[in-house]
A and B are shown apart, each in its own frame.
Chain A
Amino acid sequence: MPDKITRRSILKGGVAGSIASLLFRPKSSKAHQIKAYQNSMGVLVDLTRCVGCRSCEAACNAEQNMPEPAKPFTDMSVFDEGAHGHKRRTDETTLTVVNKYDVPGLDHPLFRKIQCNHCQEPACLTSCFVAAYTKTPEGAVIYNADVCVGCRTCMIACPFYIPTFKYSSAFDPKIVKCIFCYDTRLKYGQPPACVEACPQEALTFGKRKDLLKIGRRRIVDNKDKYEDHIYGEFEAGGTSWLYLSSVPFEKVGFDMTLPHQPILDSVKNFLGMVPMVLTIWPALFTGFHLLATRKEPHAKDENTTKQEVGE
């Protein structure tokens, strides 16, 4: 018989593994560097220019062959549909929506378009255990619906609540989200449909690094017009879609509590431990169990012997 697995060897392995796990901790998140694609594209959204015409929604619907909406895109009553101040969200039929914000002290409403922000380090991508998501060098976060198993972890991981689920389909449910018009446009260097449709040029398509320059220039050239911040430059580790606003961002629905590190960093230490726990703990605790129950068979033997003697 080859090397026999003894209780002792199992215990040894378990103890050694535990010590190793303490010594070789996953790398600290402080050392994290964003390895973003240098020439990736993005879109700069200037909230001061948007007039809420919904041309982007209509263009997106046509480009992505989405189902016909209940109301035409010229119907502005959709802005007031949400009860108790709830805003419209992306769903399986709409990859982008525009919301209206009445900001106190401002004589006109502001409008904000939402869609996937195409993070530099997407939380949806890192949370997906079947690796359905891809961040392309052009900047788009796309996904392969064929390998999606419908676990919806990405919906929870996304800090912007963007991926949605096709609940209406019982047999082919899949995740639905904006893909930056990757298949039909971005791949060929063209701007997404929403950008092309925008009459006010509230959406500007370009290299992300150039958009940051344009954004900063607008802030500098138009004194007191803009908040001195480009949303998305650092939020959640940086996003391909960037935003300029004339009012504090939280007043137009932006989450200002997001960390500047990628969302992945919040869970990386924990996730780094998972494989170790899965491999070492079974051996360790099996060892403990064997150790704890080592004497039981002997005790049984002794009892039997006593009974036999008694007879």
Chain B
Amino acid sequence: MKSFGKTAMMVLITLWMVSSAPPVTAMDPEDAPESVTLDYLEELYESVEFDHMTHAEMFSCADCHHHTTGDSATDDSCIRCHASPETADDVSCSGCHEEKQSGKARTSDGSNNIYHIDKPSLKGALHLQCMGCHQAESGPVECLDCHSFTAAGEERFKIKN
């Protein structure tokens, strides 16, 4: 019972902190991280160091992010519900895209079954976003252009050394 009271207090404090936080304003590309380590899914491949700065200099934020900090979503499908900027505070890919594509998320059992029926997992979202642009802009598109195998990856793909 004591621990419940403690937890409730923590939740209240957190809520107060969040609600009283200053409004988030649009972020400049310079403020964005220089590089992002993509290691959520490392198993067959080593983690990937994504050069965020180079990409941010070549393209505008919204080319890749569906929304930027402080701005509302641009995607027609998202904007129906997520029009207010507050919901757009999290611009990280993993903020919306779950790490694994689960069969459960795709069934009509979940509460978000009306709209979020076709949201790619993090792996799918990253690849679709990167590969789509790399194909169109003639960037590197081979698996090993971005990834390097782990020992498990070499075993999986039957690489003979």
Cβ contact within 8 Å between A199 and B127: yes
A210 with B124, Cβ < 8 A, contacts A59-B156, A108-B135 known: no
Q: Is the CB of A205 within 8 A of B157?
A: no
Q: Which of A196-210 contact B (CB under 8 A)?
A: 196, 198-201, 204-207, 209-210
Whether A214 is near chain B, meaning CB under 8 Å from some CB there, is yes
**Cβ contact of A204, chosen from B101, B127, B141, cutoff 8 A:** B101
Q: Which residue of A lies closest to B159 (CB)?
A: A72
Residues of B within 8 A of A209 (CB): 108
Q: Is the CB of B104 within 8 A of A74?
A: no
> Given that A201-B124, A207-B108 are known contacts, is A72 also in contact with B157, CB under 8 Å in the complex?
yes
Most chain B CB atoms below 10 A, which of A58, A108, A190, A199: A199
A195:B160 contact, CB within 8 angstroms: no
**Complex Cα gap A59–B156 (Å):** 7
What's the interface size class on B, roughly? 20 to 34
A234 to chain B, nearest CB (A): 21
In the complex, are the beta carbons of A201 and B128 less than 8 A apart? yes
Question: Given the interface contacts A74-B144, A213-B117, does A206 sit within 8 Å of B106 by beta carbon?
Answer: yes
Q: Which residues of A contact B103 (CB under 8 A)?
A: 41, 189-191, 205-206
CA distance A41 to B104 in the complex (A): 11
* Chain A residues within an 8 Å CB radius of B137: none
Assess the A210–B160 pair: CB atoms within 8 A: no
A62 at the interface (CB under 8 A from B): yes
Query: B121 on the interface (CB 8 Å rule)?
Result: yes
A217, B127: Cβ atoms closer than 8 Å: no
| Cross-chain contact of B158 among A72, A108, A191 (Cβ < 8 A) | A72
Q: Quick check: is B107 within 8 A (CB to CB) of the other chain?
A: yes
Judge whether B106 and A51 touch: CB under 8 Å.
no
Residues of B within 8 A of A199 (CB): 123-124, 127, 143
A53 CB–B CB distance under 8 Å: yes
CB pair A58–B156 under 8 Å, yes or no, is: yes
In chain A, what residue has the closest Cβ to B77? Answer: A221
Q: How far is the CB of B73 from chain A (nearest CB, A)?
A: 15
Please report the number of residue pairs spanning A and B whose Cβ atoms sit closer than 8 angstroms: 78
Task: Report B-chain residues with C-beta under 8 Å of the C-beta of A88.
Answer: none
B158 touches A200 (CB 8 A): no
- Decide: B108 and A49 in contact? CB cutoff 8 A: no
- Minimum CB–CB distance from B95 to chain A (whole Å) comes to 18
A61 at the interface (CB under 8 A from B): yes
Which residues does chain B contribute within 8 Å of A49, judged by CB atoms?
128
CA of A74 to CA of B125 in the docked complex: distance in angstroms? 22
Interface flag for A157 (CB, 8 Å)? no
Q: Mark A31-55, 1 if CB is under 8 A from B, else 0.
A: 0000000000100000001010101
Bound complex: CA A55 to CA B141 (Å): 15
Give, as a whole number of angstroms, the nearest-CB distance from A38 to chain B.
11
Within 58-87 of A, Cβ neighbours of B (below 8 Å) are at 58-59, 61-62, 68-69, 72-74
Are A69 and B106 also in contact (CB < 8 A) when A200-B124, A201-B120, A201-B124 are?
Answer: no
Residues of A within 8 A of B102 (CB): 191
Residue of A nearest to B153 (CB): A58
B117 touches A210 (CB 8 A): yes
Please pick, from A62, A72, A196, A205, the residue contacting B106 in the complex, using a CB distance under 8 A: A205
**CB-defined contacts of A211 to chain B, threshold 8 Å:** 106
**Hey, which chain B residues are within 8 Å of A201, CB to CB?**
101, 120-121, 123-125, 127-128
Q: Give chain A's interface residues, CB within 8 Å of chain B.
A: 41, 49, 51, 53, 55, 58-59, 61-62, 68-69, 72-74, 108, 189-191, 195-196, 198-201, 204-207, 209-211, 213-214, 217-218, 221
8 shortest A-B CB distances, which residue pairs?
A201-B124, A206-B106, A73-B157, A199-B127, A72-B158, A214-B118, A201-B120, A205-B103
Provide 5 A-B residue pairs closer than 8 Å at the C-beta atoms, listed in order of the A residue: A191-B102, A199-B124, A206-B106, A214-B118, A221-B77
Which residues in B have some Cβ–Cβ distance to A below 8 Å?
77, 100-104, 106-108, 117-118, 120-121, 123-125, 127-128, 131, 135, 141, 143-144, 156-160
